[in-house]
Amino acid sequence: MDLQNTREATTSARSEARGDVPRIFRGLDFVTEWLVFTVLIFSPWAFGTTEHWSITTVNRLNFLLGLVLVAKWICRAVTGYQPDRWASQERLLARLWPWFVGVLTVFLLGYIGVSAWNSRAIYHLQEQRFEYLEYVPWLPHSYDQAKSWERFYRCLAAACFFWALRDWLLIKTSRDRSGEHGSDRVSERVRRLLWVLCINGTLIAVEGLLQRLTHTNKLLWLVQPEINAWNSGQFGPYAYRSNAAQLFNMIWPATFGFFLSLNRYYRRGLGSGSETILVLCCAILAVCPFLTSSRLGAAVSAGLMISSLGIIFVRRGFKKWKSTAIWLFFFSSVLAGGLWLNWDDLKERFMKRAGDETSGRSEIYANAKKIVADYPVFGVGPGAFGAVYQLYREDSSQYWHAYAHDDWLEARATLGWVGFGAILLLLTFAGSHWFIGSGLPLPSDLAIFIGLGCLGVLLTALGDLPFQIYSLLLVFLAFLAVLSSGVRSRRN
């Protein structure tokens, strides 16, 4: 059987060498790769993609990715060419999984689109009033038409990004098809993606540290933001330091898992391969959440480090006590170093509001829960939280918040249980693919630590707004695309 698979792989590689792959498909695949990398590199540096110009730019790039994906489908249909893919159609779940997730994606986009089209009101911010419209009450609706359409376009662009990336990841490269590597190897395209994310994240961390040291109040030494217009409130290109911490807490566990997978595959000791640079990247990325002075970011980073040590001990234990001891020392040093370098600021941040550990957010949560209670089924509409929140303040002295600072609660308030349930199903299906699906081999070390980083940002969303930040959403979707494309390697 192995001999037959080797012959088929060799034949496929020779077929590509003869030029049997349509030139247009090869070009489209190349464009997909560079668009994905452009989006992932550009979006954090564009001030987190929080401004209108940067959001519009990234949306257009993602829409272009969607068009390229459709062009690839058309090319396959017209030419009859089917690229050699990791996904197998032998298992029933493997055939059904993309359909389930695809239907849920279309349903969620349709749900948001109908809410915007069937708006109950247009909110005029300058005049602070609602202009009420005729609407169909038994359909999803919104109290802020403009914001709902903005949210629809962003979600559509994000869906284009996810599906285009996943399609690209599942196509085998010539090195993948050569058969020279075992099943526990990280596929070529996953490697490229992870190197881009790890290196780009490390550069952002280093830039953020330099920005702190120079005491500038301008992001990237260029722009002073309207909010947090002081050095300690920012970090790197992010005007809100917690957003930077959330980015690092997503990337450093994946960086660590990537190193373990490469190191295990090549069977090399620590410091004996080029992948050792990932250890340095991991250390920089893991210490930065403490240096941002973000309380939640530091707490989540510490929790991720403790969880990482637990995972290492469970997977290696006393059988490989030397490597276990090395990683115990590594994470202990990073944790101790982060606390030592910024202990005064962190202590002040944690002790500043002893009477209200959530910095006044309990007030937001109480008001937001009233919105959930009043609009349980469809919510107040995608993106309409800020417009409606003013109506639920106990008095005008309470601050008018644009976000709930709890993405789970805000999703319930704006999408209702129908839309929120669709999101939960999408996350469940995406996370389960590694166990039940069919696709590219994803070593356990890599899958576990990518999942740990994703779990960290999902927990962070219980007390902050990571998914309201476009660049953070795209990094999360990139990791989700890897998890939803991979399966357990046979020798994990």
The answer to whether the beta carbons of residues 437 and 487 sit under 8 Å apart is yes
- Give the sign of the dihedral formed by CA 397, CA 402, CA 408, CA 413: positive
Burial group, residue 475, by CB count within 10 angstroms (0-12, 13-18, 19+): buried
The model's pTM: 0.91
Q: What is the DSSP string of 397-435?
A: TS---SS-S-HHHHHHHHHHHHHHHHHHHHHHHHHHHHH
Torsion of CA 347, 353, 354, 360, to 10 degrees: -140
> What pLDDT digit, counting tens, does each position of 8-47 carry?
444 444 444 444 778 899 999 999 999 999 999 999 999 9
Predicted confidence at residue 382, as pLDDT, reads: 95
Please give the helix or strand (H or E) that residue 121 lies within, else none: strand 121-124
**How many Å separate Cα 254 from the centre of its chain?**
11
| Structure-block tokens of residue 391 | 């109506």
Predicted confidence at residue 96, as pLDDT, reads: 79
pLDDT under 50 in the chain at which residues? Answer: 1-19, 180-183, 354-358, 491-492
Mind spelling out the 3-state secondary structure of 241-276? HHHHHHHHHHHHHHHHHHHHHHHHHHCCCCCCCHHH
Q: Alpha-carbon distance 400 to 392, whole Å?
A: 10
Q: Which long-range contacts (CB under 8 A, 24 or more apart) does 317-326 make?
A: 323/270, 326/270
The answer to whether the beta carbons of residues 395 and 435 sit under 8 Å apart is no
Predicted confidence at residue 184, as pLDDT, reads: 56
Q: Alpha-carbon distance 327 to 335, whole Å?
A: 12
| 131 SS3 class | strand
The answer to whether the beta carbons of residues 391 and 121 sit under 8 Å apart is no
